[in-house]
Structures are given as structure tokens and as C-alpha cells.
Chain A
Amino acid sequence: MSIPFSGTLRRSGGIVSAIGKQLRSVNLKGVKRITVQFDPFAENVKATREFLFLLSTPKVSQSNPKCIVKPDIVCDRSPAFIKFALIDSAQEQSKVKEIRFNSDNLNTLELLQLLNKHVSTLAPPEEIAKKVLTKAEKQKLGGGAGGKKPIKKK
């Protein structure tokens, strides 16, 4: 007798592909400024630095070119944090002015997951830009409404 299938059909690609998957769904449209503060000599800043690097990649920064990522280096061994200052519509939606991640005990994947959970959801929905009609399309529409124009034989 065969038992019903249990388990996975595909093996997971590991933490790197999980990070890649999170990065693909990052949307910074609801943020106007990101401040990443850390002390480079403190412990557990690797995740923060990696996160800062990932935020600076072209794919992520192109999701909102107006958003500024500002790294802040301090020298007092204070725990690292990341602050997201939200735009007005996002502030209304979430009723907070800024979101802060204390990244001392989080790893890069968790930071990205939290980002997608809290910040990417606050992105304003995209407005569908009005389609620009080509001449042929306009003619078609115009022809459909007011009678077809006679085709001239050249």
C-alpha cells in the first residue's frame, strides 16, 4: 500500500535565495528617508551592514528614487537601528510617523521579512497611467463612431 505524498517536491535554495525572494518584493514607495545607524566596532552589526548594502542596490533604490538612504556611523557602541520616515499618505494609513527596527539581534533575512511586512505594504497603489492613443487607434475609434472613411486608391 502506498502512503500519500508528504514532503517537498523541490529543495529550498538556502538563505541566499530566501533573501533574494524577499528583495524582489521590496517596495520603498511609502518611505521618504531611511536612516541606518550603527557602530562599526560593536557586535552584531554584520546584519545591519548587509541590509544597508542591499538597500543601496539599484533594483531596490529604483523602486523609489526619491527615497534617501543615509548611513549614520556612531562611536559609542550603542545598538544599531534602522529608521524609516514615511511619506504622508503612508503615515495616515499606518498612523505612525516613522518605523524603527532595532537590528542588534536580527539577521539580514529577518530584517527584510519585517521590511516587507511593515513597510512595503504601506506603498501607495500605483496609478495606471492614461494610455496614449496612436493615430491608427484614434482613427479606428473615430471611424467606429462617425462612419468609416473611404479608402483612397493610389
Chain B
Amino acid sequence: MSSLIQQGLPLTSARGPLLQFLRFRGKINIQRPKDPHYERARVIAVTQPKYPKVSQALTCFQSRAERMGAQVDNPYNAIIAREVRNWLDHSKLVAIYHLNSITSDEIFRVRVQLHKQNLHLKAYGRKIIAQAVAGTQYEAILPLFHSNHCIVFSPDQQRVGALLRLTRKVPQMVLLGGIVEQTLLSRNELMDFAQMPGLQAAQAQLVQTLNMAAGNVVQQLQAHQCNLIKVLDVHAKGNQEQGQEQAQNQKQESEQETQT
């Protein structure tokens, strides 16, 4: 059956497809191609793809928009802003300084000295501080950060005296102001605060003043009695001395008598 079909169809062959070999071991020519026939060349020319040409010269508005628009806020700024807010909330003392031109060596030395007193020297950028402080009670300190600055935080105790003493030696650090226990103080107020005695001393003074009122009355009532006692004391002492002198004289006389 199959042989009958094959005899009827002349091109079919059981031997396989007709193969005509074009190349045999020679290298193919790719570098010097033959010019195409005119018709073929025409078709190729028409069917070449046209890509849209991007002009490299942008207009002024486009380049400015690229420049301005490309500044996306780094999310790390938010993390640092949170850290700043943390420091501000948990420090009893915050001092803000204007920083003149200073070498890293010197500022490191200052940082070490402050660290020994548990005072932490930090510096952040204005944008980050603005982000940290926007909408909070600390917004008033923002104008201090327009220029080169540094901040000193004291988390547990107020050591204003130590801080001022250390920073007085550094001419490049200029005190601008500070926050003491959530109260904003200007530079003069901060210096006065350093001169004031501590809280315990102030409390003792208050107690003393309160007691002075009552104490005054008591003192005035007892004044005459005290006076009398003093006078009697003096008198008694005088008598005592006289008696002692007399006793001494008698002793001397008796000794003289026994000698003779």
C-alpha cells in the first residue's frame, strides 16, 4: 500500500530530503558582502526601523525640573531625627554652641573631656533638627542652627558649671543658649543659672527664711532673759576668779608659814 502511494507521488522519496551542499570546509564571507539587487535593496531601505531620536539638549525647564525633582529625602534622615528628639526629651541639660573653625584633634579633645563629665557633644544638620523639632515645644531653638553649630547633651544631671568651665577653655565654641529641664534659657540666663547654688541649697535657704519669721519672735521674747543670764554668768565668773585668787593667796601664805 505504501509503495503504491510512493510510486504515485514523484517527489516523495523514502531516501530522505534532497540536499544540495553550498559550503564545504571553506570559510564563509561576512566582511565583504555582495551588493543586493536593486529590488532587494529597495525593500530593505523601506523596511529599516525608525527609532525616536532623543535630543540630548534639554530645555531649561526640563533640566531644572530634573535637578530639583531628583532630591528625594533619605529615609535615614527620619531615623536620625528620631534620635535627636530622643536626646532632647531625655536630657536634663542641652547647651547649643556656635562652632568656629576648629581642627578635629581639638574637638576630639573637647569631646573626651566632656565625656568624662557625662556630657555628650553632638552635631546634626539643620534639616534633620528641623524635622525632629517641627511641631514640638523645642521649635524655638531652630534659629540657633543657621550656621556651624554643636550641641551638648547631659542626660542625667545638670553639670552646667563643669560644662562652662570646660568650654571656656575652647575659644572656638561660643555659647548661644540652652534648655534646662524643658525651659529655654538664653546665654546670660544660663550663666546665671550656673552661678546659682544647687537645688538642695536653695531649699535649705527657703526653709531658713521661713523659719526666720517664727525664730525672730522667739528671739525677741527670750532676749531679756538671755541678757540676764549672760550678765549673771559674767558676774559668777568674776566671783569665781576672785575666790580662786583668794584661795591661791591663802595657800601661798600657809606654805610660807610652814617653811618658816
A56 and B188 form a contact (CB under 8 A): no
Per the bound structure, the CA–CA distance linking A67 and B38 in Å amounts to 88
Residues on the A chain within 8 Å of B174, using CB:
52, 71, 73
Judge if B98 is at the interface, Cβ distance under 8 Å: yes
Distance, CA A57 to CA B102, complexed state (A): 8
Contact A40-B188, Cβ < 8 Å, known A71-B174, A73-B176: no
Chain B interface extent, by class = 10 to 19
Q: Does B172 contact A (CB under 8 A)?
A: yes
Min distance, Cβ B101 to any Cβ of chain A, angstroms: 4
Is residue B82 contacting chain A, with contact meaning CB distance below 8 A? Answer: no
Residue A46 lies at the interface, judged by CB distance under 8 Å to chain B: yes
Instruction: Name the one of B147, B172, B188 contacting A50, with C-beta atoms under 8 angstroms.
Output: B147
Asked whether A49 is an interface residue with its Cβ less than 8 Å from the other chain, the reply is yes
Query: What is the CA–CA distance of A113 and B237 in the complex, to the nearest angstrom?
Result: 87
Secondary structure type dominating chain B contacts: mixed
B92 CB within 8 Å of chain A: no
B177 — which chain A residues lie within 8 A by C-beta? 40-41
Write the chain A residue with the least CB distance to B98.
A49
Which of B98, B99, B101 is the one whose CB lies under 8 Å from A40?
B98
Binary contact track B165-185/A, C-beta < 8 Å → 1, others 0: 000000010111100000000
**B175 contact set on A, CB distance < 8 A:** 73
Task: List chain A residues, Cβ under 8 A from B100.
Answer: 52-53, 56, 71
Chain B residues with CB under 8 A of A14: none
Report chain B residues within 8 Å CB of A49.
Answer: 98, 146-148
Given A53-B101, A57-B101, A71-B174, residue A40 in contact with residue B143 (CB < 8 A): yes
Decide yes or no whether B156 CB sits under 8 A from chain A. Answer: no
Known: A40-B143, A41-B143. A75 touches B98 (CB 8 A): no
- Is A58 in contact with chain B by the CB < 8 A criterion? yes
Interface residues of A in 49-83 (CB under 8 A from B): 49-50, 52-53, 56-58, 71, 73, 75
Question: Which chain B residues (89-105) contact chain A, with CB distance < 8 Å?
Answer: 98-101
- Distance to closest chain B CB from A35 (angstroms): 13
Question: Is there contact, CB below 8 Å, between B187 and A52?
Answer: no
The answer to whether residues A52 and B98 also contact, given A41-B177, A75-B186 and a CB cut-off of 8 A, is yes
Contact residues in A for B98 (Cβ distance below 8 Å)? 40, 49, 52-53, 71
Q: Chain B residues near A45 (CB, 8 Å)? A: 143, 146
> Which residues of chain B come closer than 8 Å to A53, judged between CB atoms?
98-101, 147-148
Nearest Cβ distance between residue A107 and chain B, in whole angstroms?
Answer: 12
Partner of B187, one of A43, A57, A73: A73
Shortest Cβ gap from A20 to chain B (Å): 15
Question: Given the complex of chains A and B, what is the CA–CA distance between A40 and B176 in angstroms?
Answer: 6
| 15 residue pairs bridging A and B, Cβ less than 8 Å apart | A40-B98, A40-B176, A41-B144, A45-B143, A46-B147, A49-B98, A52-B100, A53-B100, A53-B147, A53-B148, A57-B101, A71-B98, A73-B187, A75-B187, A75-B189
